[in-house]
């Protein structure tokens, strides 16, 4: 077994060898604590039949732990300067392929068909670049990829919003967007001290396990999410006022909105953050005819 890349001394050596300078704009905060990496990998429940998609391998700290436990790892890295470093640090592992691409522009489905056709199970595992955590997660969920789920590190606040329960301050449209597709759970809090350079925010690891079907069945997903976003428009407003202010043409449709709320058994004075995902679905079905 090779010495872990993620130890502080080995990381320092690698960075010095290549004269690597961190780009803050790419969210480059590398992990330097092998125990944290082992725990992340444990939460992903990998086997020799699992294929892993990693976003942002950096110098390979997490990648090598994944390579040791999975059948294959495909890692997307945007920063060209890291490619020769990864070729060096990951040379002991024949089951890793690094793709030089912005994950937000990648055709992940095609990469899965080409590179992960022979695995039985696919997980996304990553220490995400913090400036784009939400777009990356939403892309991977809305692309409807054949993945079991994701175990990813991100800002603590964002993890809390994704895993929030109705009626809490963190519950909002991001919660519904994520929980529509997945069962979400924050599995670990991570201190700033295990990264180099130290980030300005606290971190957490979230596990998102994909539901077989979305949490609720709706006639039109876009409209469902329009209703959700409108309901959280201004947090202090009642659901009635938010829907009137934030649904297109809502101001002229007070009666129809009141009727839809009544039919869905939702008190118009409630606030958006108290509605369950099932109640949002019921409401959006009742509003759909009026607004479509
Ligand atoms: N996995 C490494 C670790 O844990 O030490 C590095 C994680 S670092 C937080 C984020 C990584 O994502 C960096 O290597 C960065 O260059 C890369 N990255 C940033 N934006 C990206 C994007 N849009 N697509 C792919 N990789 C990206």
DSSP letters for 176-210: HHHHHHEEEEEEEEE-GGGEESPPSS-EEEEEEEE
Q: Could you tell me if the CB of 56 is within 6 A of ligand 1?
A: yes
Q: Which residue matches tokens 């990813």?
A: 152
Pocket test for ligand 1, best of 22, 26, 201 (most atoms within 8 A of CB): 26
Q: Could you tell me if the CB of 28 is within 6 A of ligand 1?
A: yes
Q: Could you tell me if the CB of 132 is within 6 A of ligand 1?
A: yes
- Cα distance between residue 137 and residue 230, in whole Å: 22
CA distances for 217 relative to 38, 69, 107, 214, angstroms = 37, 36, 27, 7
CA distances for 97 relative to 55, 68, 182, 206, 225, angstroms = 12, 14, 27, 25, 36
Nearest residue CA, atom 5 of ligand 1? 30
Q: Could you tell me if the CB of 32 is within 6 A of ligand 1?
A: no
Q: How far apart are the CA of 28 and the centre of ligand 1, in A? A: 6
Pocket test for ligand 1, best of 129, 132, 190 (most atoms within 8 A of CB): 129
Mean pLDDT by groups of 10 residues along the chain of 292 residues? 88 98 97 97 98 98 98 98 98 98 98 98 98 97 96 98 97 97 98 96 97 97 97 95 96 96 97 97 95 84
Residues 6+ apart with CB under 8 A from 8: 32, 196
- Cα distance between residue 27 and residue 36, in whole Å: 19
Helix (H), strand (E) at residue 127: strand 121-127
pTM value? 0.96
- Cα distance between residue 231 and residue 271, in whole Å: 8
Report the pLDDT value the prediction gives residue 1, as an integer from 0 to 100: 61
The DSSP bridge pattern shows strands 30-31 and 149-155 to be unpaired
DSSP state of 73: E
Burial class of residue 111 (count of CB atoms within 10 Å of its CB; 0-12, 13-18, 19+): middle
- Cα distance between residue 290 and residue 284, in whole Å: 10
What φ, ψ does residue 195 adopt, rounded to 5°? Answer: -120, 150
Nearest residue CA, atom 11 of ligand 1? 56
Nearest residue CA, atom 19 of ligand 1? 26
> With a cut of 0.90, is the ipTM above it?
yes
* The ligand 1 atom nearest the CA atom of 129: 10
Are 99 and 73 in contact by the 8 Å Cβ rule? The answer is: no
The DSSP bridge pattern shows strands 121-127 and 203-210 to be unpaired
Q: How far apart are the CA of 141 and the centre of ligand 1, in A? A: 19
* The ligand 1 atom nearest the CA atom of 136: 23
Q: Could you tell me if the CB of 41 is within 6 A of ligand 1?
A: no
Q: Enumerate the H helices of the chain as residue ranges.
A: 8-18, 34-44, 61-69, 82-89, 108-115, 133-142, 156-162, 173-181, 221-231, 239-246, 254-263, 277-291
Pocket test for ligand 1, best of 78, 133, 158, 193 (most atoms within 8 A of CB): 78
Q: Could you tell me if the CB of 58 is within 6 A of ligand 1?
A: yes
The DSSP bridge pattern shows strands 30-31 and 50-55 to be unpaired
- Cα distance between residue 70 and residue 230, in whole Å: 42
What strand order describes the sheet that includes 50-55? 96-100, 72-77, 50-55, 121-127, 149-155, 203-210, 182-190
Pocket test for ligand 1, best of 7, 58, 104 (most atoms within 8 A of CB): 58
């Amino acid at each position: 077994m090779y010495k872990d890349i993620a130890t502080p001394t080995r990381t320092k050596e690698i960075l010095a060898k290549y004269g690597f300078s961190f780009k803050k704009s790419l969210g480059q905060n590398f992990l330097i604590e092998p125990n944290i990496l082992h725990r992340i990998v444990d939460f992903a429940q990998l086997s020799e039949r699992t294929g892993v998609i990693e976003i942002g391998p950096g110098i390979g700290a997490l990648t090598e732990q994944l390579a040791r436990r999975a059948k294959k790892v495909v890692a997307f890295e945007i920063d060209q300067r890291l490619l020769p470093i990864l070729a060096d640090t990951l040379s002991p592992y024949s089951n890793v392929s690094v793709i030089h691409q912005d994950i937000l522009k990648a055709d992940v489905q095609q990469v899965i068909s080409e590179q992960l056709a022979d695995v039985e199970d696919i997980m996304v595992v990553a220490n995400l670049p913090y400036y784009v955590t939400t777009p990356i997660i939403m892309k991977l969920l809305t692309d409807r990829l054949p993945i079991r789920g994701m175990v990813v590190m991100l800002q603590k606040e964002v993890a809390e919003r994704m895993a929030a329960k109705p009626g809490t301050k963190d519950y909002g449209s991001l919660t519904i967007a994520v929980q529509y597709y997945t069962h979400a759970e924050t599995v670990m809090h991570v201190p700033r001290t295990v990264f180099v350079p130290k980030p300005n925010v606290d971190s957490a690891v979230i596990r998102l396990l994909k539901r077989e079907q979305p949490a609720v069945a709706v006639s039109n997903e876009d409209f469902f999410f329009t209703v959700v976003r409108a309901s959280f428009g201004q947090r202090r407003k009642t659901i009635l006022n938010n829907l009137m202010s934030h649904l297109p043409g809502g101001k002229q449709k007070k009666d129809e909105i009141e009727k839809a709320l009544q039919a869905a058994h939702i008190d118009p004075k409630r606030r958006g953050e108290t509605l369950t995902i099932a109640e949002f679905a019921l409401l959006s079905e009742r509003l759909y005819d009026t607004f479509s």
